[in-house]
Amino acid sequence: MDLPKRPNVPYKELENIFENSLNQLKTFYILKSSIDLKLYDHLKGYKSFKEVSDMVNLKSILTYYILEILNKLGLVEKKDGLYKNSELSDLYLNSDSPYYKGKGFILITEKINMWENLINTMKSNIKKKDNNHFPLIIQVMGENTISGDLYDVVELISNLDEFKKAKKFLEIGGGHGFYTIALNHIKPDLEAFVFDLQNVIVETKKYIEKYDSKVKTIVGDFYKDSFGENFDIIFSSYNPSGKNPDIAKKVYESLKMGGLFIIKQNFPSENECDGLDELLANFEWNLTGLTNSKKGKRAFTFEKDLFFNDYIVFLENLGFEIIDVSKVNDLSPFANATINDKVIIAKKVG
Ligand SMILES: C[S@@+](CC[C@H](N)C(=O)[O-])C[C@H]1O[C@@H](n2cnc3c(N)ncnc32)[C@H](O)[C@@H]1O
């Protein structure tokens, strides 16, 4: 048998793709193990790798390389051969910190299970429902909000004259309720409500209690139930209602004349982008479903959603005047937002 001829394309090209993916995966598992081992709880002060290896019960050579890798990632500082948390890991990975991202890791672990069994996940006729995960998702988003855009968004809203005069405030799909809790702290005479699904409101109430807040809750499904009436401000942040014309109409009906609808939302660009990150996000979006509404095909979109320009025209036709549109990233240096995330302030005028 003859040897095959020299191939036209070198194998190295494929090998690079495998190597890069594998190294990302290895880095991810080093990160995950360091969190599961509570390494950052042990590294509040400088320690030798031998001390750390005794504390986490790992071979010292493996501990040494984990610490060196974490040092390269900026999560561990090294001085005179000793290691301690960097400012970043001390804030977000040390479990004593008020900014600890504990729930975020649980969600990541759930995602890994979905990806590890990808063929099963793709072929399964029973799509995993995101609704069952909303209670966890909102805890993760609560962690992100507290270390993210909370302070800047609250500043934006609380500086509005309409807020200073407001009596009745509603946040739809508010989840953790941090925006409303913070706004109610600034303006204690405000009657403030968070509207969300029943299983989520259970979690909202825990935060309301934790932060000694007077915020009230409304259990409901925004596709089916009414919000109530006579609100001065209705706020909506990153939830399935934020680009939906039917819900905008409902909001319009629930606002007083002169009232504000403030929407913080991701609006996808009209042309589908083809960057790897976006394609991966769109793919993952389609692995799971919702019980009470249908998802769109691109990440963070839902059936009936309008693109940004069409949504603005729809709001104007309903009787809103657009007072302001800002990019979330410009608004807050802490925002975990993409370039298409916007805050729209619309006033009911007609
Ligand atoms: C991605 S979270 C956003 C949480 C929070 N607003 C934030 O910006 O961090 C989406 C929220 O919308 C709520 N939600 C989803 N579908 C809903 C529905 N049909 N009716 C009411 N709330 C809903 C979820 O329970 C969840 O709290």
CATH 1.10.10.10 in the chain: give the residue spans.
12-96
Ligand 1 mean position, distance from CA 168 (Å): 20
Q: How far apart (Å, rounded) are the C-alpha atoms in residues 110 and 341?
A: 26
What's the whole-model pTM score? 0.92
Ligand 1 mean position, distance from CA 79 (Å): 45
For 116, the enclosing helix (H) or strand (E) is helix 102-116
Please tell me if the CB atom of residue 141 comes closer than 6 angstroms to any atom of ligand 1: yes
pLDDT tens digits, one per residue of 114-156: 899 899 989 886 666 666 788 999 999 999 999 999 999 999 9
Largest CA distance in the chain: 88
- Nearest atom within ligand 1 for CA of residue 144: 9
Q: How far apart (Å, rounded) are the C-alpha atoms in residues 226 and 201?
A: 16
pLDDT tens digits, one per residue of 265-322: 999 888 877 789 999 999 999 998 877 778 899 999 999 999 999 999 999 999 999 9
Q: Helix, strand, coil: what percent of the chain each, to 5?
A: 45, 20, 35
DSSP 148: T
pLDDT tens digits, one per residue of 203-231: 999 999 999 999 999 999 999 999 999 99
Please tell me if the CB atom of residue 238 comes closer than 6 angstroms to any atom of ligand 1: yes
Q: For domain 12-96, is the CATH number 3.40.250.10?
A: no
CATH 3.40.50.150 in the chain: give the residue spans.
132-348
Q: How far apart (Å, rounded) are the C-alpha atoms in residues 318 and 350?
A: 8
Please tell me if the CB atom of residue 170 comes closer than 6 angstroms to any atom of ligand 1: no
What kind of fold does domain 132-348 have according to CATH?
Rossmann fold (3.40.50)
Q: How far apart (Å, rounded) are the C-alpha atoms in residues 48 and 76?
A: 12
